[in-house]
Structure 1
Amino acid sequence: MPKHRSIAVSLVDLGSIVEEFHYGPYSRFWWKMSTDKENATFFPLRIGQKTKTCLNSRDFFVTIVVGNKNNAFLPGYLCQSDAYISQIESDPSNAISSVYLQIFENGTRFSGPLVLGWQDEDIIHKLLGDVLFVPISIIIESLKIFIYGIGISSQVDWLNAGSGYKSSLIYKFNGNKQAIYVSKIEEDKCILEIYQDNQMKKKYEGETPIAVWKKSELMKKYNGNLLFGLENSFVQTLIHQHKVKLPICFPKNWNDYSIMKQIYNYHLKRRTIANLNWHQLFLGWLEQESPIIELYSQLRILYPNNHKFSDRELRAWQSMLRDVGSYNVTPWSNKESEYQFWTRSSQPEQDRATLQQLSKIGFLVSTPIHMPNKTKTFWNSFRRALDDNKQNSDGKRRVLSIIADEFSYSELETNLNVGRHTISESRKHARVNGYGAPPLLKPVIHRVKLKEEMLSQFELFFADKKN
């Protein structure tokens, strides 16, 4: 390893771990590998992390921020010394060297990793202080797979991974341009997302890692389990270790606070508010005769009235509920409604079948009566708009063209009571005139038959080479 000049570095601000970045699609760029060959580990580039170093009798401060001039989702580095400040750079070396050049008019280059303390064991230890999961990296042939989330389950087709498992790799997409392939498990499905040019280009869902990668028809040389990273022995060891950490728990154990506290600490403690009487949800659940609860309304009882639930917080609750022996028996998808039914019954399929039947015949609705049903409001409003317009190209067809391409024939027929011909004509209207635009006015063409004398004059005119 090349030798660097000795520089004293101190950590001024620890910064924060932000799930969106450190455990999101671009997470592989928010972690660095330590230089300790014996105990090499990833450590986070924390947002707001600030270090101070003294160069040529001046203090230089380097701060990690979100985004740089090349990418809005990757780390940026800002260096400041008194009134001198750098641009937000993608490389910390450029940030500090540019400020040094402004002050001393000297082009000396300084090591960014060195002035950020990335080679200081004490600083790295502090950066890892409250990290719940430290990512790992594995190599399969030419692919470097970054695993940044571990979830567990008893699913054999998932090789015992579970909701919360996340990995990514970099490979070409749409030609030779690099893209990030994110493989993850959420709830009861496996997901593949492809990111390129700072946006998600494709998303696939399937029941297993193999199925979701097969659906994408990409990288057919490898199977889905391999591309998820699940066949790696070290990953399997991590999954097993996480299983061992959690106690086996069933509803009969919910009164045992010591067991429940371990599961709470693992799933919820760092993802929800402090001083929450979380155990009351389970005690109250045990006391009621029915084994079924509606999760969202029960959580509302526990939290302050003005509390806003984050997706991360709700996922943590759902993970905890699964690990204490309860089951999600909701008869509709998350997209349709945020309300979820959970049961503590040892035979959840019976409860699920009952709720599905009640929903099918209309006795159970995805949105309570006292809550505004935005979907229903939309369809009713749109139907009124159609009813108020005439059955012609500038009436119903023009109005329906606004959404005709966004919904299927059956959805439009059911919710708006329109015929297939009207839908077809509305889609045609959108292609020709634009969505909701008035029909284009066709030019009026008048035809006049030319006399023979005029035709002869035309022929003579065009036959003359001078013309």
Structure 2
Amino acid sequence: MSNEHFTPGKLVADGVLVPELHYGPFLRDWWYFDNSKSEDFSSPIPIRLGFQVAIKLNNKHFNVRIVRNINNSNMPGFICEGEGTNSGVLSNSSQAINTIYRKVFGQNKTKYPGTTMLGFHDSYTIQQILKDVDFRPFIIHLDNIKIYIVSISNKNNDEGFSSCFTYKYKQKQSIIWQKIENQLFFISIFRDGQIVKQFQDTTASLVWNQTQLLQNYNEEIYNNDHKLGTRELRAWRAIFEAVGCNNITPFEKDISDIEFVSCAKDPKNDKETIRNLYFTGFLNTTQYSILKNDEIEFYKNTSDVFWHSFRESLDANPNENLQVSPKTIHSARKHYQKNGPGCKSIEKPIIIRKKMAEIKEREFELFFADKENVNMSSYHIDKKTQLPILYLKDQKSALWEKFSMKHPDGMKRTSFMARLQNGQFKYRDDLGGLCLICNDYAYQPFEDLIELVSNNVTDKKIKNNIITQLEMLRRHLKRDYENELFVYDNGTTNHVDCINHCLLYAFDHSYNTLLLEYQEKLICYLAHQTRKKYLGAQFNAVLNELDENGAIIIVDYKMRILPATARETKSEFFGKRGWTLHTTLVFQKKDNEKMKIQAHDHWSCDTKQDAWFTASCFEAVFNTINPRPHWIKIISDNGGHYHNSELMAIISHWYDWSGIEVRGWIFLEPGEAKTTVDSHHATIAHAIKRYVRIGCELTSGKDIEKAIEKLSGTSVAQIEPNRDKNNDDDNIEEQCNSNKKTKTIPGISKWFAWDWPINGNFEGYIRARSLPNIGNWKEFSPAEINTFCGKTNRPNPEFTTPTQSKIPWLSSLPMKKDSIQSNEMYNLLQNKNTQDQMTIDTVFPLKLGWALKENQKMGNKGGGKRISKKVVQYLQAYFHAGNLNPKDRYTAEKMYESLKELVKENELSINEIPEVKTIKGWIGRYNAASRKEMSEKALEENIIVDSSTNNNI
């Protein structure tokens, strides 16, 4: 097992250095030399006398001390104490710790590394141990002998040098200790802590001759009269060539037998050597032989001969002889012309040039930040860039055409495609994940229609043609229909005709009722797609309204965070409660091109995600946000924790409580609300996975803060909502009124845009309408609000000080279109005349306002088809049949098939049969009601039995 899995002990006492132990013959046992080659470890470490650490084993505390060994006072001893017992003085730290572990816990298999537990691999402990150490011994290897250098002389006569090593003396292992003192050389031999023999002499050779040890190292390799033979010379040349030396002799062998070899890569390093050779006469070739060329006689001295020879060798073959290419010579001449002979090169200023203009990079960034072009992943991030995966909504070539039309002067096609390669951008044809509306009102009806065609159309050609048309229509509604819709920068839109695909006349009249139902479902799905497109475009429109005094807020709950450990058993996985994590993203304008994003993440042990928890999180954000905005606009999904009457009533008091104006709240379409907060949650999930993967444990909320505290622009804090709202109220009547259950505002689920005016005729009102910029406002007066919600209390949550991120989170503001062109489009939209409207009403096949949720027949809460009493009786019979005999238990699918059999027997009509998902919901509700009823009966029976028992007594 790696030592990294053990926690080092806490330093209690540093201990002391004893010179005769730590710098004497026995230093090998008083210094810790690590055999590992880790760069982080600095070897060696002194084992100080009196050193003490406190360790923790199985949540029990122990102390480990270093003392002198009882058997040999020159050796260290280790003792571990704790829990009323001790290990005794042992020669090894691991042995001491494992001995007391067996005594206290009775386990023999657990082994602890002593050096790790003492902190010899901990940087802080090592720093404390080495704080007053002036010299640390080091090791020199000579064959199989390790020589420990204890001290180094600081004088020219080697006075003060000492070293030791282990070697056999008289066939027994001994410590050889040698030192230089008072100009004498001493060698002492120790065995079992006692000195056995001592030698001294005036030189190292004489004193080693006395010991008769290591005589093979005391011979002369070459004497003064030795002559090298031809074979020996060849061997030396091979050695020189193997280590990278080159022959630089400036003359031939017929002039002199002397050879010069150099291993310097830079010729400047040989300058001093050549100078010394010249003054000693080794370069004076005239004293060895007669010049063979008459032209050399023209030179006045031997230096001229040398440089003439150098020029000849250079001209002859510079590449092989001197390893100098013509390019190098040309560069040298060029350097001489620019900088002068022997001068350094002029340092030119470093100019950093970007390959792409900043404005073009910003255009690319904003193009792929638009939800019209990409879908952000809520779960996956790119491993290289650590950014959330962006799924392209179309193929790369189609996106390039769209980009080039929008930015004709932007980056070129090659640069555009290169940025999409091997990064966070991915294209998936089968972009998975359907919301409930898409599944129930789009894909399921199409599957039913295809099945209907397959069963009733006999002509194969007509059948295949109709099925192909249905599949093309399904793909068009899912992918291409959104591209036909257009929303302006200010969040408004204009009319675009769409085709009505009618299927009523494809079959007999007996299927009219069923086909009308399918048509209503498809219209519901088409409206869902239209609202999704329109509401998704509101984000950029809202960002365009940002100024220095305002902020845009996006909120969402993350899926519950569960405890996790690196090693987790199956039984530990189940039964987890986890923590709630609520995220508030605050967008504030930094300058004309950038905006600052602050992520306020609040975790809590309270797992009830309701209006009160949401309001408490906003209260905490308002108290910590910096700078504090004057107005805000909020965007979220339409989950029940946001889209509810209680929260709408609480928001109406925010201006009075916090001084912040709420200019609106936009709820996005259910199942399709993919915003920046989803990518933030994906980053959090990746950070938590990495935190657990490196060996940390996620067992408390504080571990969440440690895991995600380094994310850009992210602050983390714990929050606990104070759900006891009436502690300060003394009036019992007010308490009773405030404890009443909040009534639901009629039609609240149909309105996606809300507003809370703070001045004018509607001051104090709550206003709502179908969509932003569409529909008439529905006003709710303060009296009506009080009727629905009663008294509204201000949240007073308890929250910790949030962490502060060192890295800011910056993003680019969306680029606005030409204001003149936008105004012309907007005026054209507003100035549509009555004749055009009449033409639209006449030609357009769908009714005016068909996409508004308030005009839908399907998809509304509580607007589904009720189960008839007759069908309920059959379902109850099926349910109880399984209680009598588990083998006869009915599933929802089996109940559905049984009801269809009753239709064939004319017991029920086809319209009365509920869908499978409706039957599943009924089973859940009826099962809970049955259990409640059985519990109440059992409780009543127990009360009767208890009362009868008391009466008898």
TM-score range, shorter chain: 0.3 to 0.5
Q: Which has the larger radius of gyration?
A: 2
Larger proportion of helix: 2
